[in-house]
Amino acid sequence: MFFSSDMNYTSLHGHIYSKYQIDNIINNPDYYHVEKCKIIDMMMKSSGIVSNVILKSKALPLLSHIVMPNKCNDNNFKNVQKAYKFLRDLHHELYTRDGLRNYLAYGEAVYYLQHKENKPSLIPLDKQYIKFEGLKNNEFIVSFNLDYFDDQVNIERSNYDNELEVVDILRNYPKEFAAAYHKYKNNMSIRNQWFLLDRNKTFAVKRGILDSEHGESLIMPVIKDILFSKEYIESLRDNIRDNSSQIWGLEQPESERKGVCSLNREQQKMQFDNFNNAINKQNMQSKNGYASFATSFVVAPGTKIHKMDFGNELLKNPMRKETNDQLSIGLGFGMGILGGESKDNFASQKLNIDLILSEIYEYLGLASKQIEKLIKTYYNFNDDNSVTFTYFNVSKMDKEKKFNDAKELYTMAGGSRVYLYAMGADDPQSYMKLLDMEKHLNLDEKYPPNQTSFTLSPKDNVSDDKGGRPTKDDDKLSVSGEKTRANGYNEQPKK
C-alpha cells in the first residue's frame, strides 16, 4: 500500500482507499473492523518497521510459568501434575506468543478450546468474524459470525448446493459450531448469525477499552505515518530509476585542420557503430543482472570517450531517518532498540524497554487467567480442587536482574526456591525433574566435586586436610621448627 499523488491509498491487492476512507477507518475502527483488519494484514506484510516491532515484542517474554494448587493436599498436587500435562499437550507457548502478536497488532486475540485425539487444542478464530459483546462475571462474552463458513467456500447465502464443503470445514470445529450453523441456516436472522461462544472454553483477551466491540490496535494510530513513509521511499526509488542514468560521448580524432576529423565518413560511421553497440550491450547485460562482464571494441588513434553522471543530488535521502523515527515513536519502540543502535543513552533506552515490557506483562497477566480457566474447564475442576496458573514477568531483557532479585529474596528473606528456579532456568518444572534424575542416578556420589576452597568447609573431614602447606615429619624439622611445634605457636590465633 502507498500514498499516491492523487490522494488515494492503493493497497497491495489493488484496492483503492481514499484519504477520506482511511480517516473514517482510523476514527471508527469498530464500525470498519473488517477493513481495519485487512489494512493491518497488509501493513504487517509490507512495513519492515511494523513487522519488526510486533515480532520482537512477541519473542521478548520467556514464558516462565508455575502451577500451584489452590489448597495444599495430596489430591490437589495430583491436579497440579494434570495441569502441567495439559500445558505440554497444548503447547501453550505457541498460542501465548501468537496471542501476543494479535493482541498488539489487532488489539485482540480469541481462541476456542476443543478436545481432539485425547488432547486439548485451541482453534484460532478469524479476527474479522469475532465481536466482544460485553462482560459477565468478569469474563468477556464473545460472539462469532457464522457467515465465516460460507465465505470459506465462496457460496451465496441462499445457495445450499455446496453445503457439503461447509460440513467438511465444520468437522474441524467443536460440535456446538455445527449446531449453531445449521440453526442459522434454518432461520437466517441476525440473532442466529452471531453465535455466542461458551466463555468457559474461550481464550479471549482485548487491548484497551473494556466496553468496546473490539480492541485497540497498536498499528492503527500510526497508519498515516506508515503510508507517508512508504510514499517517501517509493518516490526515492522512482528518482533512482529516472535520474541515476549516464551519458556517454565519443570524440572522434581531429586532423591537422582545426575542427575537421581525420577519419573519412565511412570510418567515422564504423567507429560510432562499434561504440554504440558496446554501450547497448553493456546496458543489456546490466539489466539481465550480470555483476561482472567485459566489452571490447577498436577505436582509431586519438579517439576519446567521455562519461557524464547526473542525478546524484536527487538521490539523497534527507528525511528517511526522520520518518523512521516518527514511525517508531508512534509504535512505542525506539529506533535505537529496534535496530540495535546506540544513538540513545542507556537511561532512555532502558526506560523505553521498561515501557514495552509493561505492556507485554499486562498481556501475560490476562493470558494467565485465560489458560487457568481452560485448565479448570478441561478437567472440570471446582474451587476446592482447582489450580492457579501464572506466567512470571520475566523477559530476555531483564532476566539477569530478575534472577538477582530472586536470589537476594531467597537468601535474605526465605524466598521461594521454585521462583528462583523459574528466574534462572525458565521452566522450574523441567529443572526439578532434572534434579530428581540426578538424585536417582546418585551423581553426587559417582562424580564428587573437585576439592577446592569453594567445596570444602571446616566440617568436611577429608583426609584431615585443613588447607595450607603440607605438615613435615618430626625427623625433618629444624631446631627452631621443633621448638615452634612443641610450644604450639602455629595453633595460636593470629592478631
Q: Is the pLDDT of residue 304 over 80?
A: no
Q: Is the pLDDT of residue 366 over 80?
A: yes
Q: Is the pLDDT of residue 340 over 90?
A: no
Note the Cα 361 to chain centre separation in Å.
14
Give the pLDDT score at 12: 43
Average pLDDT over residues 106-113: 97
Q: What's the pLDDT band for 343 if we cut at 50, 70, 90?
A: low
Q: Tell me the C-alpha distance between 15 and 184, whole Å.
A: 32
Q: Is the pLDDT of residue 134 over 70?
A: yes
Considering the chain, what is the average pLDDT of its residues? 80
DSSP state of 161: T
SS3 10: strand
Q: What's the pLDDT band for 460 if we cut at 50, 70, 90?
A: low
Separation of first and last alpha carbons in the chain = 81
Inter-residue contact 431 to 421 (CB < 8 Å): yes
Give the pLDDT score at 288: 59
Q: Tell me the C-alpha distance between 457 and 466, whole Å.
A: 9
SS3 132: strand
Q: Tell me the C-alpha distance between 483 and 475, whole Å.
A: 13
Name the residue type at position 474: D
Q: Is the pLDDT of residue 298 over 80?
A: no
The cell numbers describing 74, all together, are: 495430596
Say which residue, 86 or 236, is predicted with more confidence.
86
pTM: 0.73
68 φ, ψ to 5°?
-130, 145
Give pLDDT tens digits for 307-334. Answer: 665 555 555 555 556 666 666 666 766 6
Give pLDDT tens digits for 145-170. Answer: 999 998 888 755 555 556 778 888 89
Q: Is the pLDDT of residue 437 over 90?
A: yes
Instruction: Write 315-320 long-range contacts (CB < 8 A, 24+).
Output: 315/236, 315/239, 315/240, 315/243, 315/244, 317/236, 319/232, 320/232, 320/233, 320/236
For 191, residues 6+ apart whose C-beta sits below 8 A from its C-beta are none
